């Protein structure tokens, strides 16, 4: 599957400009990349969250495709119902099979936390849809509260930084591995700077005869505290520090898509964002060392899964 830039530039975006997203928002960049990668008709759905809010302030919409908004937790089951209805109508001869693809967008709060059981059920039942987690690592839409995707040590409004609490105490969930544990046919991690990798993975995902899952890192200037022109640079840095590895899992086989050389230290990641500024203080060096150990351990585990020499 080859993604050709000339073809992408000449096609109409599924997500129109003029939406209300913050300058530098990673979510709308990724949503556009995903829709551009799919050359079939698409029906999309979004959980309550940033993407839904900025693309559909009544009476306006930025969606140029059929789109459904649902509650925080149940976007997966809503789209699964649409996918089921489509298959039934084809079987009954009431409509023709147009090769429609179904894509659900949910934030990390809706994916890692509130909607996890709904997504699990959709995968278990084998619905033919792609679920995309737009992962900005906190509940950005409701005030930058911590989620299950928030990394250890990060400042959020519910993990404040002070003399007692140094940001979030717990490590984030490995939601991609949780999805793989469902015996899902296809799962992957992507980031917006690696657009060709992202779009190729989307094409693989929608070609699957069953459920697929993509976890997309979405840098957030507002919640991460960085200048709005640094979104793509931060996406690249996440991969180079192995904070956000790029890989895919096809029918249980793990494949590494990018290996940094050299691997950059976690301090480079912390220095790039205000949400980690407190970790750079001398008294918090032990926390930096601990987080580096966690990142290193997870990276080595990924290399083992992908059967890549360390």
Q: What pLDDT score was predicted for residue 309? A: 82
Average pLDDT over residues 126-147: 98
Average pLDDT over residues 4-31: 88
Residue 258 predicted with pLDDT over 80: yes
Q: Is residue 90 part of a domain?
A: yes
Report whether 26 contacts 219 (CB < 8 A). Answer: yes
At residue 1 the predicted structure's pLDDT band, cuts being 50, 70 and 90, is low
Residue 296 predicted with pLDDT over 80: yes
Q: Is residue 301 part of a domain?
A: yes
Q: Is residue 310 part of a domain?
A: no
Q: What pLDDT score was predicted for residue 115? A: 97
Q: Is residue 224 part of a domain?
A: yes
Q: What pLDDT score was predicted for residue 64? A: 97
Residue-wise pLDDT for 142-172, tens only, equals: 999 999 999 999 999 999 999 888 999 999 9
Residue 7 predicted with pLDDT over 80: no
Residue-wise pLDDT for 164-202, tens only, equals: 889 999 999 999 999 999 999 999 999 999 999 999 999
- DSSP per-residue codes, the chain: ----HHHHHTS--SB-S---PPTT-HHHHHHHHHHHH--S-EEEEE-SSHHHHHH--TT---BSS-EEE--SS-HHHHHHHHHHHHHHHHHTTSS-----EEEEEEEHIIIIIITHHHHHHHHHHT---EEEEEE-SSBTTTTSB--TTPPTT--BTTB-BSSS-BS--SPPP-HHHHHHTTT-SEEEEE-TTSHHHHHHHHHHHHHSSS-EEEEEE---HHHHT--GGGHHHHHHHHHHTTSS--EEEETTEEEE----SSPPPHHHHHHT-GGGGGGGSGGGHHHHHHHHHHHHHHHHHHHHHTT---
- Would the pTM count as exceeding 0.85? yes
The chain-wide mean pLDDT, for the chain, equals: 96
At residue 2 the predicted structure's pLDDT band, cuts being 50, 70 and 90, is low
- 299 vs 29: CA distance, rounded Å: 27
> Which percentage of the chain shows pLDDT scores above 90?
94
Q: What pLDDT score was predicted for residue 163? A: 87
Query: What range does the domain containing 277 cover?
Result: 5-305
Average pLDDT over residues 86-111: 98
Residue 257 predicted with pLDDT over 80: yes
Report whether 103 contacts 203 (CB < 8 A). Answer: no
CATH number of the domain that 116 lies in? 3.40.50.970
Number of domains in the chain: 1
Residue-wise pLDDT for 202-215, tens only, equals: 999 999 999 999 99
Average pLDDT over residues 271-288: 97
Residue 55 predicted with pLDDT over 90: yes
Residue 235 predicted with pLDDT over 70: yes
Q: What pLDDT score was predicted for residue 61? A: 96
> Which percentage of the chain shows pLDDT scores above 70?
98
Find the range with the poorest average confidence among 46-50, 163-167, 255-259: 163-167
Q: Is residue 22 part of a domain?
A: yes
């Amino acid at each position: 599957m080859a993604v050709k830039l000339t073809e992408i530039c000449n096609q109409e975006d599924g997500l129109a400009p003029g939406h209300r997203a913050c300058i530098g928002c990673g979510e709308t960049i990724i949503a556009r990349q995903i829709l551009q990668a799919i050359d079939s008709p698409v029906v999309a759905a979004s959980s309550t969250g940033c993407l839904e809010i900025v693309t559909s302030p009544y009476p306006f919409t930025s969606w140029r495709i059929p789109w459904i908004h649902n509650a925080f937790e149940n976007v997966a089951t809503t789209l699964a119902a649409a996918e089921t209805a489509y298959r039934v109508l084809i079987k009954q001869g009431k409509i023709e099979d147009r090769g429609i693809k179904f894509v659900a967008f949910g934030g990390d709060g809706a994916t890692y936390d509130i909607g996890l059981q709904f997504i699990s059920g959709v995968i278990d039942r084998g619905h033919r849809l792609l679920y995309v987690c737009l992962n900005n690592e906190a509940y950005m839409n409701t005030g930058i509260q911590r989620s299950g995707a928030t990394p250890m040590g990060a400042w959020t409004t519910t993990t404040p930084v002070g003399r007692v609490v140094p940001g979030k105490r717990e490590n984030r969930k490995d939601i991609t591995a949780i999805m793989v544990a469902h015996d899902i046919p296809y799962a992957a991690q992507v980031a917006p700077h690696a657009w060709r990798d992202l779009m190729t993975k989307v094409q693989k995902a929608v070609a699957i005869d069953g459920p697929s899952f993509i976890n997309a890192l979405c840098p957030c200037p507002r919640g991460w505290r960085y200048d709005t022109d640094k979104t793509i640079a931060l996406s690249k840095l996440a991969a180079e520090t192995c904070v956000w590895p790029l890989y895919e899992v096809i029918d249980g086989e793990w494949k590494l898509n990018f290996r940094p050389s050299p691997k950059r230290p976690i301090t480079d990641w912390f220095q790039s964002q205000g949400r980690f500024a407190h970790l750079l203080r001398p008294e918090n060096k032990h926390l930096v060392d601990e987080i580096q150990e966690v990142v290193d351990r997870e990276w080595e585990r990924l290399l083992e899964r992908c059967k890549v020499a360390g």
